[in-house]
Amino acid sequence: MFLRSLGFIRTFWNETITEVFVKASWPTGKELVDSTLVVITAVALLGAVVFFCDFSLSNFVRYATDLVR
């Protein structure tokens, strides 16, 4: 039973190594840099939109509560 488990582990390990280092296609340096820039730009734009919405809504709530007082 123990040796059978070791066989499964060895098979799993060999298949994992083959999948990662032989079958997988890794991006080139330029593709990696381009993808990174796209992600940074998207995060910055999303952050700006969230900041604008938060700032606008907080000012609106402050204005509305000042009208009620």
Rounded to two decimals, the pTM is 0.63
Distance CA 18, CA 12 (A): 10
Q: What is the pLDDT of residues 16-52, one digit of tens each?
A: 999 999 888 889 999 999 999 999 999 999 999 999 9
| H helix count then E strand count, the chain | 2, 0
Q: Collect all residues with Cβ–Cβ distance below 8 Å to 35 and sequence separation of at least 6.
A: 27
Residue that has been written with the tokens 């809504």 in this structure = 57
- The domains of the chain are located at 2-68
